[in-house]
Amino acid sequence: MSLYRFLFRFFVLYMWIGISAFAAEAPKPLFPIPSQAQLAWQELEYIAFAHFGVNTFTNREWGNGNEDPAIFNPTEFDAKQWVQVLNDAGMKMLILTAKHHDGFCLWPSQYTDHSVKKSPWRNGKGDMVREVADACREGGLKFGVYLSPWDRNQPSYGNSPVYNQFFRNQLMELLTNYGEITEVWFDGACGEGPNGKRQVYDWDSYYTVVRRLQPQALIFGCGPDIRWVGNESGVARETEWSVQVVTPEIRKRQWGEHQNGFVNGKGADFAHRTAINPKKHEFMWYPAECDVSIRPGWFYHPDQDDKVKSLEHLVDIYFKSVGRNGVLLLNLPPDKRGLIHENDAQRLRELRAFLDETFKTDLALDATATASNGRDNHPYFDPKQAVDSSRHTYWATDDSVTNAVLELHLGDVKQFNCCLLQEPIALGQRVYEYSLQYWVGGWQKFARGTTIGYKRLHRFPDVKAARVRLVISGTRACPAIQNFGLFQMPEF
Ligand code: FUL
């Protein structure tokens, strides 16, 4: 061995010993934990839905499938305008209704004529899925597709094996021809009455198609990746865990189950830690998506131009979705021109301005942070890691700790009415009980919570204080806090 090689080996060994001596061990992940795709999806936070199709032209919410494709003729359709509006709003993905319950396809599916092929738009040569997908990619947005299993136009609907094959074929078209698809949205709605056609959906085979063709795509609905929050008002529960109990209902994944049982989570315990008693259950990582429309309807109706939700309402939705460990899926229905209406675009800009103003100054940033315990007393897990606004660092305690206090000294007295907390969810969701307190000669509580997860936002009347603390009184494993921020929201 040459001297050079010998010295090099010696150097590597020396470095390895040095690094191992100083590296502290991170807390072990507490299973279940999100997949890489679920983690990336959660970080999108705020995403858009576009309901567009024949209903836009018939002024209905649910088409019956008999609509003449000739009515579909948006005169000024411009996917770039949609993308511009979304980017200005700070949204990160667009999910398009490629096919709603009426069965009309926004792409020229080879399996049906009930599509843009038979419409005067672009002389029957158009492909709206392509134009929207391309515009999203060009504008830096993720793209997802909504495909309604309920199809009121398709003659084979109700002839279960035949329709299931038809549905898989359509899915294959969407998942092979339009580049990366980030989310596949399966709508559970089905309005067929007792005498109507009863279709037994082969969910597992649909999921197999998605996994095979777009392994990174997330499946929404009664599927395996993303959970419907249980309402269409965009509001998560006060206690919204991403760790959920696996029940027989979720395994069945049959139509109807998700409306009544597990996913809807009407029972108080579905989203509470008492339901995730490790002795009793299996768990899965199953985060909540909160869907809501910016208007009363999912599709565009001219008489709702003045019914766009108010800024106050949208702010409330934001805090109760993104701020409660969910992802907000806000629907923006393009109008008959094929554009997002000015009133909707204006309201979205107002919301963006409000949120930017709220979060522009973190009053806790670089505060002096101390804690009742710091993991191994190591700088990697020092309390100051919770106030550096980085998504890569966090404060953590030793494994044996279940009660801990993280205290911030803000320097001067600061005024704030909003607090942000985040756990590094790659390590699992851990904290189930905490309070926020400020110092006024004694400690005074100003907020409390039963879940943090990816992001928790609290709003409260103005607090003026120089010392604030997070008191963690219950956690499934030693706590880890990625961010602890304090903000002042503007007035409306
Ligand atoms: C529901 C559908 O019936 C509505 O039309 C809309 O698409 C909404 C997002 O999901 O189930």
Residues 72 and 121 occupy one common structural domain: yes
Residues 91 and 152 occupy one common structural domain: yes
291 Cα nearest atom in ligand 1: 9
365 alpha carbon to ligand 1 midpoint, in Å?
41
Question: In the prediction, which pLDDT does 188 show?
Answer: 79
Residues 236 and 113 occupy one common structural domain: yes
Residue 210 is part of a domain; what is its CATH number?
Answer: 3.20.20.80
115 alpha carbon to ligand 1 midpoint, in Å?
19
61 Cα nearest atom in ligand 1: 5
Question: In the prediction, which pLDDT does 7 show?
Answer: 63
Tokens of 134: 């391309």
pTM, two decimals, is 0.93
Residues 330 and 394 occupy one common structural domain: no
Residue 240 lies in a domain: yes
Residue 51 lies in a domain: yes
Task: Give the number of C-alpha atoms closer than 13 A to the C-alpha of residue 161, restricted to the C-beta side.
Answer: 0
188 alpha carbon to ligand 1 midpoint, in Å?
8
Residue nearest to atom 4 of ligand 1 (CA): 298
Which of 328, 359, 390 marks a domain boundary? 359
Question: In the prediction, which pLDDT does 260 show?
Answer: 40
Q: Which domain holds residue 181?
A: 36-359
Residues 329 and 407 occupy one common structural domain: no
441 alpha carbon to ligand 1 midpoint, in Å?
53
Q: Do residues 97 and 52 make contact, with C-beta atoms less than 8 angstroms apart? A: yes
Residue 5 lies in a domain: no
Residue 403 is part of a domain; what is its CATH number?
Answer: 2.60.120.260
Residues 343 and 400 occupy one common structural domain: no
Which of 359, 381, 410 marks a domain boundary? 359
Question: In the prediction, which pLDDT does 281 show?
Answer: 64
Residues 330 and 287 occupy one common structural domain: yes
Residue 340 lies in a domain: yes
Q: Do residues 129 and 78 make contact, with C-beta atoms less than 8 angstroms apart? A: no
Residue in 229, 232, 290, 331 to alter for ligand 1 test, most ligand atoms within 8 A of Cβ = 232
188 Cα nearest atom in ligand 1: 11
328-354 residue pLDDT tens:
999 999 999 999 999 999 999 999 999
Residue 407 lies in a domain: yes
10-residue averages of pLDDT along the chain (492 residues): 63 50 81 95 98 98 97 98 98 98 98 98 98 98 97 94 97 98 91 79 93 97 85 92 71 44 44 60 85 98 98 98 98 98 98 98 96 95 95 96 97 98 97 97 97 97 98 96 98 94
Residue 55 lies in a domain: yes
93: region left, alpha or beta (phi > 0 left; psi from -120 to 50 alpha): beta
Tokens of 276: 């995730």
453-464 residue pLDDT tens:
999 999 999 999
Residue 347 lies in a domain: yes
Residues within a 6 A CB radius of ligand 1? 61, 187, 189, 291, 298
Residue nearest to atom 11 of ligand 1 (CA): 189
* Phi, psi (rounded to 5 degrees) for 142: -75, 160
Residues 108 and 245 occupy one common structural domain: yes
Residues 351 and 225 occupy one common structural domain: yes
Q: Do residues 147 and 154 make contact, with C-beta atoms less than 8 angstroms apart? A: no
Residue in 185, 187, 263 to alter for ligand 1 test, most ligand atoms within 8 A of Cβ = 187
Residues 149 and 269 occupy one common structural domain: yes
Question: In the prediction, which pLDDT does 65 show?
Answer: 96
Give how many domains the chain has, as a whole number.
2
Question: In the prediction, which pLDDT does 265 show?
Answer: 45
329 alpha carbon to ligand 1 midpoint, in Å?
12
Residues 308 and 431 occupy one common structural domain: no
233 alpha carbon to ligand 1 midpoint, in Å?
12
Which of 312, 330, 359 marks a domain boundary? 359
191 Cα nearest atom in ligand 1: 3
Residue in 51, 298, 299, 332 to alter for ligand 1 test, most ligand atoms within 8 A of Cβ = 298
Residues 167 and 316 occupy one common structural domain: yes
